[in-house]
Chain A
Amino acid sequence: MQRRQLLLAALGLPLAGALGACSQRSAATPPYTAVCSAASDHNNQPLLGAMQGSQWAFSVASQERGHDSCVHPQRAEALFFARRPGRHFYVVDLHSGALRHKIPTADGYHLYGHGCLSADGRWLYTTENHIAGGGRGAIGVYDCHRDYRLQGYLDCGGIGPHELALMPDGRHLVVAIGGLKTLPASGRKTLNPDQLAPGLSYIDLHSAKVVEFAPAPHPQLSLRHLDVNRQGDVIVGAQFQGAVPSGLPLVYHHRRGGALAALDSRGPLGLRQDYVASVAADDRQRVLCSFPKDNLLALWSIADKRFVQSWQLRDCAGAVFDPAHQQFIVSSSSGQLMAARAGQRELQALAYLPQLRWDNHLSLVPAALDTTLAQH
């Protein structure tokens, strides 16, 4: 430290202000593939839209808060799922930015905020709560070719199904079973705190049966969010339903036929709140998880179960891999869209919308549609 700075510091004077001019930064905004996200504006108005460059490609207002989204590549539609206990998903035309459909669940059901598509794009699968069935979990099946008409339900083998994904074989769904029973009449209160049975459920779409259930290693580890890579590695993140920090690993790896194996040993992470929001796998057998309550993002190598690195970002939640630019796109409730790249110590700013709060998840607009996105 220079003598003048030492003197200022010793006097308790604002050292930083005196040095302000010394550290100018300059950086060009790096490119990224457009993403869909739910959000809330400064008036708490829920929004559903897609971000491209420094601004919305489109956004539509909704009456309920959205959670996750997915893009239907053949139909060039973005699908947004209402957060628990919302009862609608919203279908937006990516070319015009117009709301095409607002599809309600059947009476006696509500959504958990997540959905995914079949390999051929014909069917949409959503995680739902069968309220009238005592809170049993269900997978709603909707026909994308017939205005998302409800086709029926699949059993998911548990209570509180949350995020789901299509396995690379195109034949099985993997579902994170949170185990938490909630009913709209009692709000978001957990009605079965001592009887959670969280785990990973695999559903065979040909037989419509649960063909495998991998229980969570601890009954209070509610499994919520997951992703699967091309090799069939399923990574699932937990939220501990007890006194935190639990000291338990929160991120687990699973392969069909095996048991859940911890990916995070807690060694390099100072987690105190035990809450995983998003899980995003890349194409190099790595996975990034967001921990909004700990203001942290962390990257692991799946192949050797090794922690790679972490970044800090206030109340970060959304995360998706952007293969075209070999980066993870992450979002925060502070209106930031950032790039996390392995090997780079700092996150890079992609876009910033002050007064906007990005909601929990991001989904990627496929590169083929990125250039035809509506600009409103």
Chain B
Amino acid sequence: MPLSALCHRWLRLAALLVLATVAACSPPPQQRLLNDTASSLLSTHRDFALASAQLYEASQRFCQAPDQAGFEASRERWRHSAVAWSALQFHSAGPLMADNTSWKIQFWPDRKNLVARKLEALLNSDAAIDRDSIAASSVVIQGLSALEYLLFDPKAGQLSRYQDQPSRRCAALTAIALYQQQLSEQLHRDWLPEHGNYLATFTEPGADNPRYPDHRQAIASIVESLVTGAELIKRDKLERPLGLASSSDHAQVYLLEWWRSGFSRQAMIGNLNAMERLYLADQLYGLDDYLREHQHGALADQIISAFEHSIAAAQAVDGSLFDAATQPEQQAALTQLYQASLQLLSLLKNALPDALGITLSFNGADGD
């Protein structure tokens, strides 16, 4: 046999062997789903840690010599952090749920304007402002909500305030940004094998795993996060602040998320994008593939359409939700967005668990 034919034959054999090995090693669908979803979640946590680090660096640079460019850069990094946070905000399991972490990152809704009151009290006192004093303070002034106040409030979050009284304002800005950077880094570490290893908790269900005794429970936690996100958007981000629950309801725009920065709509789009990413496991083997593998292809597509419809409806609103809430010409767009959120919630909360054979909130829905 000529050498080239021998090589060709060997290559074919090797290729077949590789394919056979891949097939033999390919984990079952539910394991692929958890592995790929974990991979997506890990990158989401890494992105948030990175955005927080960049926000801290920007605030430090700005405070070395407060000027317009540094101020705008800090604001931009804050927006970047808010989008990164919108990808984690709706998670209902995992390290984010421990030690009140989500409240430490965002204090919202703030019905009593506590962020302004507590921050002003701190700024007007003689108390030390550094990373440790922020860590020991109330959650109200520890997170992105406090940073939003310092960077965007119509009165307190203006460049002139830093130029007039740089020291305490800058101390607060950098200390809170540093605290956030460390918190987000810890949150990321909690997932990593050499630290908290939540990755193994999530991807290795079994009798000895106290969180997830089987795959179904871990899959249920993905669904639960999606439902939490859809409920957050429908109820807390639209219905209550915009007074959409009934015709007699009034808008309460100061309940809007990120009203000071006018960033509510972008953050909601951030939620929707991240929820879709979670659902698709970043285009790897996600819940959509899992549904298709279990003869629910139509539902898999319906959910993708509902995400896209919701994102398009949010993009169709002109400007911020804070401004749109009081503009009659925007009411139709807001109503469409609300309707899209209702449809998404219904699919995620009812059709998806039904298709997967999962019960959500049996005890929590008991009402007793």
Binding site for B on A (CB under 8 A): 1, 5, 9, 12-17, 19-20, 22-23, 25-27, 40, 67, 83-84, 112-113, 162, 188, 224, 243, 245, 247, 267-270, 273, 275, 277, 292-293, 295-296, 310, 312-317, 332-336, 338, 346-349, 352, 354, 357-360
Contacts and interface: CB of A to CB of B under 8 A. Distances in A.
A310 B98 CA distance: 8
Contacts of B211: 312-313
Counting chain B residues whose Cβ lies within 8 A of the other chain, the interface size class is 35 or more
Interface string B119-155: 0000000000000000000010000000000000000
Contact of A14 (B36, B97, B209): B36
Contacts of B363: 277, 292, 315-317, 332-333, 357-360
B284 A26 contact: no
A316 B93 CA distance: 13
Contacts of B2: none
B319 interface: no
Contacts of A84: 368
Contact of A349 (B99, B203, B213): B213
Given A20-B204, A25-B209, A354-B214, A273 B194 contact: no
Contacts of B109: 245
A352 B368 contact: no
A310 to B, nearest CB: 7
10 contacts: A1-B193, A16-B39, A23-B197, A333-B359, A336-B213, A352-B207, A352-B213, A352-B214, A358-B363, A359-B362
B320 interface: no
B367 interface: yes
A14 B213 contact: no
Interface of B: 27, 31-32, 34-36, 38-40, 42-43, 46, 92-93, 97-103, 109, 111-112, 139, 192-194, 197, 199-200, 202-204, 206-211, 213-214, 216-217, 220-221, 224, 240, 282, 284, 359-364, 366-368
Nearest to A346: B210
Contacts of A334: 213, 217, 220
Nearest to B282: A12
Among A14, A269, A338, A359, chain B packs the most CB atoms within 10 A around the CB of A14
B199 A19 contact: yes
Given A20-B203, A23-B204, A314-B220, A270 B101 contact: yes
Contact of A5 (B193, B197, B364, B366): B193
Contact of A112 (B193, B199, B368): B368
Contacts of A245: 109
Contacts of B102: 270
A19 B240 CA distance: 44
A237 B200 CA distance: 34
A312 B38 contact: no
Contact of B38 (A16, A25, A243, A268): A16
Contacts of A360: 363, 366, 368
Nearest to B103: A270
A76 to B, nearest CB: 28
A348 B210 contact: yes
